[in-house]
Chain A
């Protein structure tokens, strides 16, 4: 495959994304715009997870926790704004310029505390313990009875305002998500190129060597854990706005697994890989039942996961470099 193929696909995707609402409208499928926003949000979450998995070699199976914290901060602030009550002595708000930064801040704080504990371990322990703490966050949200508990929390005020922008407009929201994803990708590209980013790569390749060189690897890993958590918190804040609803479901452990899948499916350790992965994963999830329906397979339409699961297994067993690697052709040595 030609080397330029990847560039063509990427460009095509960017152009498609830029004009997506227009095209959808013209094609009479304006209802696709919110789904597309959702894909962008999950892409953002996957990109943030990739900072851990791909660039630092930390396999976190609990990334949905930070997505959930971000979503709940936005949801809870909106709840108090509607009710006119206070939380920690402060009023609620539906202003995104306040709630979204707070969502980022809180998820970063949670990531700091949980990361400080999880990073005392490594390898298999790290996988298990990130999953366990994410489950703890899940149960905490379930026990928040004031905020709907199990049933979740409707944001009766609808999506936030974002300064002059009204996020309840589907078009505006789509372009905000696109801009945020683009900005986050630029930030990641910058981050990876810095001294800090290089150190992370070195830790992934050989942690013992970095320790011998006198590098405090724990501090580096904690820093990137917090940054990744903040990125997921941002995605969570957008997710709450997308649905005007938050529930413990956002933190369900399968969500963490799905995010991990998106990263690997797209190609871990590459800038755009997780974006491809998120697009492919969510499209597959959305259209596999439709496909079976079109083929007249009633049973598989309802039970599409019976195909989806093995499909994922096969991809994991045989395609180790992800979609990005597939598109890029042979690795340059």
Chain B
């Protein structure tokens, strides 16, 4: 009877253990989703601002992210300091963004979106090839910064890397900072005014051209810093910008073009759906389907997840979650 008693007892104990393991895994994946969301926010924020205010669609925005990542990798490896690389990434992206605006984008404000798409597409080809010429085709791998390489237990029993946690916090701080800049400062006020009536702001004696270059560079910095954050987490390679750019498009469409708040909500939604889908959909389907089919369906469905969310939101609100009412 003793063995019978143990047999009765044992499953329930391991069941409880399994449940708590799943719970911890779940928390970890939620944090990973938040972290992807923060990346996406940093990239989308620039994209949505530049579109909302200047009316340009910039496919090469992902290239700024890539430039940030490459600069950070190179400088931090050469100097041994991640933070120096981080700083350099921001500077390089700002410089690249300002150059992009002055040389090309400025000519595109009055052109239709089709021209903007094609010109910035040509720009992507150029930047990708330039990066290949400088750094070659082999991906770069960066180490985590020394000071942030440990992990903390936010929930007892679930250690989480400090670096990833830092990225989440930094991204959220960026969101608050951006909100403050746009809605509380004088520059933000001018930018908002310029988006509604460019000529009027210009007539009031504001150098709107310089303001736009500045704004474009600011968007570029956000993308470049996102690239620097991503450096130690992904392999730094040509084409990394485009995959994040298309995700950023999904974010912007969900959030509403021009809305920074929408970009934040959309980014976190996309980050969570994508991460949780990849982590759990397969096991979830395994409850109903044979393993082989569950694996196949799970892979297909989890890669479709964010697009399905986008489609659903589009059906309910074609202008996104936070539509911006503006002059255009």
Contacts and interface: CB of A to CB of B under 8 A. Distances in A.
Interface of A: 53, 59, 61, 117, 120-121, 123-125, 127-129, 131-133, 135-136, 139-140, 142-146, 253-254, 257, 260-261, 264, 299, 303, 305-306, 308-313, 316-317, 320
Nearest to A125: B253
Interface in B104-150: 104, 107, 113-115, 117-119, 121-130, 132-133
A310 B113 CA distance: 18
A299 B314 CA distance: 47
Given A129-B253, A303-B132, A253 B246 contact: yes
Given A120-B314, A143-B299, A303-B132, A131 B118 contact: no
Given A53-B114, A132-B307, A309-B129, A120 B119 contact: no
A148 B194 CA distance: 51
Given A124-B113, A305-B128, A312 B300 contact: no
Contacts of B80: none
Given A123-B113, A310-B122, 13 more contacts: A117-B315, A124-B51, A128-B250, A129-B310, A142-B303, A143-B300, A145-B299, A146-B296, A257-B59, A264-B114, A305-B125, A306-B130, A316-B115
Q: How large is the interface on B (under 10, 10 to 19, 20 to 34, 35 or more residues)?
A: 35 or more
Q: Interface residues of A: mostly helix, strand, loop or mixed? A: helix
Contacts of A303: 129, 132-133
Interface string B244-261: 001001101100010000
B296 A145 contact: yes
B125 A309 contact: yes
B169 interface: no
B107 A317 contact: yes
A244 to B, nearest CB: 25
22 contacts: A59-B117, A117-B314, A117-B315, A121-B314, A124-B51, A127-B57, A127-B113, A128-B250, A129-B310, A131-B249, A133-B311, A135-B246, A136-B304, A140-B300, A143-B300, A146-B296, A253-B246, A257-B117, A260-B118, A264-B118, A309-B127, A313-B119
A146 B293 CA distance: 11
Contact of B246 (A53, A59, A132, A310): A132
Interface in B304-323: 304, 307, 310-311, 314-315, 318-319
B303 A136 contact: yes
B57 A120 contact: no
Given A131-B249, A312-B125, A143 B303 contact: yes
B28 interface: no
